Homo-oligomer: A and B are copies of this chain.
């Protein structure tokens, strides 16, 4: 007759594991001796070893009991099902490895490569860091909702940067970032933006905005990044609104 400790050591498991198996009914509770100790016989060791054999092969304990006395067909079926699950988990972990290898750090975390490229171009034409961060955050949101649309969006945005008017606007914004009290500069910036808005309207580029961004609340959310860039943005928004334009990420002409 064995104590729990000897049983466990014969089977190569911990005492805690044995008690756990009792608790979940995998190993029957044996007789107790006068002092309450569990007393095991050799059959318990055999059963325990079999339990471990299955458990160490990745069989969930919940399935072990049925497997221990399953006929060959059921056994084989269960084994192949468990193997399937193991394969799935391995695939998941491999996917994790793939993703973790792609992770950039800090700024570029959660930002698709196309967006990183676009932000670099913005930086190259002298956009202020605050603007770039706002763009980055906004594109993080867009990428989370429509990851597949990012390449097209970015191709579009990069193409826009070829327009000298756009570059000039960013220059103005950059100067404004350093001297936001300059009212003439503010007006000049507003003019430049409206010029671009009107150009876009003339080319019909505003017409498919609704399809690209169908969610008004989401667009307001994106706008909030722009508003957070600098206090002067509020003034800018007012100036532009006075001239009948509303919105940053989806612009509309309204009665002034």
Select A141's contact among B10, B57, B109, beta carbons within 8 Å. Answer: B10
Contacts of A94 in B (CB 8 A): 90
Interface code A74-114, partner B: CB below 8 Å = 1, 0 otherwise? 01100100110011011001101101111101100110000
Q: Is A218 on the interface with B (CB-CB < 8 A)? A: yes
Taking Cβ atoms with an 8 Å cutoff, the residues of A that contact B are 2, 6, 10-12, 41-43, 45-46, 49-50, 52-54, 56-59, 67-72, 75-76, 79, 82-83, 86-87, 89-90, 93-94, 96-97, 99-103, 105-106, 109-110, 137-138, 140-141, 143-145, 217-218, 221-222, 224-225, 228
19 contacts between A and B (CB under 8 A): A2-B221, A10-B221, A42-B141, A42-B228, A45-B140, A49-B140, A49-B141, A49-B144, A50-B109, A50-B110, A53-B109, A58-B99, A70-B105, A75-B106, A79-B103, A83-B97, A89-B93, A90-B90, A90-B94
